[in-house]
Each structure stands twice: as C-alpha cells, then as structure tokens.
Structure 1
Amino acid sequence: MRRDERDDDVGVGPHPEPWPTRDHYDPSLLRDGDRRNVADRYRYWRHDAIVADLAATANPFHVAIENWRHDNNIGTVVRNANAFGAAGVHIVGRRSWNRRGAMVTDRYLQIHYHEDAAALAEWAAGQDLHLIGIDNLPGSVSIHEHPPPERSVLLLGQEGPGLSAPARKAVRATLHIPQFGSTRSINAGVASGIAMATWVRVHRPGPR
C-alpha cells in the first residue's frame, strides 16, 4: 500500500471471521483492515477487482484536459472523473503532471495521452464519441440549456487561457457554465466537476 494512501483514521479494521471467500476479496486487507480511500462497496476488494468493476460499470463519457504548462488542476480533474464514473481521462500535450491532487484515484482509471487536440479528436471519432469543449468562449452555449451528449468527451482547456486555438477547431460544440459574479472564469478543476455532474444529472439521474 502506498504511504499516501494509508490513514488509520479512515476505512475499516480487520474483517471479522469467518472471512468472505469470493475471489474479489484481498486476504491481506481482510486480515489487516482496509484504510484506502474507496467507497464502502469496495471495502476489502483487490485493487485489480475494483479497476475491473469500475471499467465494466463506467458511464459512456470521457474527460480530457490540455496540459501545455503543467496544469496543477489535472489531479482534481482525475479525482472528479473517478467520482462521476467516467470511462477514462485524456491528457493532451505534456505527459507529466502532479498526481498529488488525484488522491490516488488515478490508480483506478484509464489515463490516455494525446500529442495534440487533433489526435484526441481522431481518437474520439474512432470511438463514436462527440468531442465537446467546456469553456466560456464567445458563441458558446449554456451547459444547462444544451447538456453534453451521452457519448462524449468533455475537453477542458489550460487554466487561464482556456481551450487552445487547435482545440477550439477540433470540438463539435463548446458549452459554458453560466456565471454571475465578477470573475472572468472558474477553476478548471471545479469546471470539470460541474460539467460531469451535469452529464450525470441528464443521462444517469438515478442513485448508484
């Protein structure tokens, strides 16, 4: 277990005997306790069993973010993608990023890398996914009035400048999150959570 995943104040202790015997359980976790940051339904499960179950039950949307300047929000985007059951995370540009903000959730998701927006668009088209930009650009439409399609890739731009010029050309549509204050934009990690929550509200409204 990774050091940053261990916290004796969370999780559960050793499982009472007799132990469950199904294959997805991890004997060492049953014996020692499960202190990982996982949902209760995954307590005592093997890591690979959790990954397989998440992949089998994932929602049919992906999330992508451009990473030209080592964006520190990527960890938050990954953590949000895990929480909302995204099928995968795509990083466009630089492959290196600070995983600290992901809080180990990157171990449970597929992370894809693309050289540029055109490569991401080509991949999305091959998977029959709509590439949708999330940015408050002129001409964008409200995500409340026009939520993303069920099969989509939600592409966020770099913190600050937003979607790059090539990304703006690659997306099929651009949606913005309505704002009412004085700030020009909201944090990219926050925007990703709002966009994914909107997808879930529209396409998967029932409890999980």
Structure 2
Amino acid sequence: MSTSQDDAAEPLQYDDGFGPEIGVGPHPRPWPEDPRYDPGLLAHGDRRNVVDEYRYWTREAIVADLDTRRHDFHVAVENWQHDFNIGSVVRTANAFLAKEVHIVGRRRWNRRGAMVTDRYQHVRHHLDVAALAAWAAAEDLPIIGIDNLPGAVPLETTELPRRCVLLFGQEGPGLTDEAWKHSAAVCSIAQFGSTRSINAGAAAAIAMHAWIQRHARVGTEQPRPE
C-alpha cells in the first residue's frame, strides 16, 4: 500500500497553516510516555488539522490507528487534465475513512484542496483505467462509476456493494469511455435544477456518503483512540 509521493521527504510540521486558533499549545509536563506521542509536538504544540483525540500523536501513529478502522470502499479519480477537484476528493475520502484513494492518469495532482489530509490517507497511482481495473479484479473489487450520462442508474436506489471502488471522472467530460467499459455499474446523482452537472468534488462527497448511509455504523458511538 503506497502513500502520497511527497510523504517520505516531508519534515515534521507543528501546524497546517491554519493559525494559532487551531489546535493546542505545548503539552504541560510531565509529558505522557506513550510512544504514539511526538516529542516535538509535545514541546511546541500541535496546530495540525486533526481531531482532538489525535493531538500530539505522530503522523505514523495516526495512520496506523486509522488503518485499523478504515471502511471497505476505495475512491478512484481519473486525472487526465490535472483536475483541481482531486484535493477535495482526497479530503472527503479521509473524512469518510476510505480504504485508499487511487489517482488514474497523471501522477501529479493539486494538493491544495486536500488541506493536508493526504498525509493520513493512502494514495495509489495507476497509469490508466486498464491498470486500475486489473488491480481491482485482483482484489475482487467491483468498480462503480459515478456519472450523469445516459445509461447510468440512480445512485439513490442502487445497493452499493460493501467492497467496491467508486470511480469518478474529470470535471466537465465525466468518465471516459474506458472507465465506463470497466465499470460493473454506473450510477447517476439525482438533480432537479437547471444545471446539467454538479462539481466533481461535490459528486464524490455525495457518492461516498451514500456508501456510508448503507454500510457504516451511523448513529452509534464510533471507536476512537484510547
């Protein structure tokens, strides 16, 4: 399982650029001896964009804990035009605890919209849709395309598989013909206004939440770090 290509070289950061109003300052002594805590964060404060339960934890400890609770769906995005929406998709995938995000096409993508959540989300690259499809077949994961073009079935009435890959196209053109060919099903999102499509990042959020509504434990206390 690979992570974002910039992770290995990225130094420890005490904040994510949100300012002093985010997070907490230096931890009062005596410091906790749990190895999940980072001495630098304990000393300087933790202004990262993480939930309170993860304050002062190392990034590796956070990722390891998330890995014990990730959901069974993957998210894939076609990236032929260097789509700026991909960052937003990664951020939402982190919020809904997707297993992995898959970038199909160009390896580089605009991280601005991810709001540094890619540090905690596994990201894998595939050269093209055929490569993604081969990987998904080996993992026994059906690909579910999301597109509003003719031939798609309503997302609202479709039973999404628990284990699957939700595949999204580019802003504007939507899924490529190759993506349609490799999809076990293609789902559309119901719209009632004058526009023919919605933002790709918004569509991804709707589809992921549809999976959450069907398969996640909603309305009960979720397990949190101890």
Question: Shorter-normalised TM-score: what interval?
Answer: over 0.9
Matching of residue 27 in structure 1 with residue 36 in structure 2: no
Cα RMSD after superposing both structures:
1.4
Residue 63 of structure 1 aligns with which residue? Answer: 75
Asked if residue 194 in structure 1 is aligned to residue 206 in structure 2, the reply is: yes
The answer to whether the Cα contact below 8 Å between 1:147 and 1:198 also exists between their aligned partners in 2 is no
Q: Which has the higher helix share?
A: 1
Task: Give the length in aligned residue pairs.
Answer: 208
- Equivalent position to 1:140, from 127, 134, 152: 152
Alpha-carbon distance in 2 for matches of 1:167, 1:4: 38
TM-score by length of 2: 0.88
Q: Which amino acid in the other structure matches residue 103 of structure 1? A: M
Name the structure 1 match of 2:4: none
Contact 2:15 2:48 in 1 (8 A): no
- List per-residue Cα deviations over 1:112-159 (Å, max 9, x = no partner): 111111111110111111110011121211111114211010000011
Letter in 2 for 1:12: V
1:5 paired to 2:8 = no
In structure 2, the residue matched to 1:175 is 187
Q: Is the 8 A contact 2:14 2:48 kept in 1?
A: no
The corresponding residue for 1:111 is 123
Q: Residues 148-159 of structure 1 correspond to what in structure 2 (within 5 A)?
A: 148-159=160-171
The residue matched to 1:5 in structure 2 has which SS?
coil
Identity of aligned residues (%): 60
Preserved CA contact (<8 Å) 1:156 1:162: yes
Q: Give the alignment's TM-score, normalised by structure 1.
A: 0.95
Tell me what 1:50 maps to.
62
Q: Which amino acid aligns with 1:116?
A: D
Distance 2:63 2:155 in 1: 30
Which residue does 2:9 correspond to in 1?
none
Q: Which runs of 5+ in 2 are unaligned?
A: 1-11
1:79 and 2:91 matched? yes
Q: Cα distance, 1:16 vs. partner?
A: 2.4
How far apart, CA to CA, are the structure 2 residues paired with 1:41 and 1:90? Answer: 27
In structure 2, the CA distance between the partners of 1:151 and 1:119, relative to structure 1 (3 Å rule), is same
> How far 1:2 sits from its partner (Å)?
4.4
Q: Flag the 1:138–1:51 CA change in 2: closer, same or farther, 3 A.
A: same
Give the structure 2 partner of residue 163 of structure 1.
Answer: 175
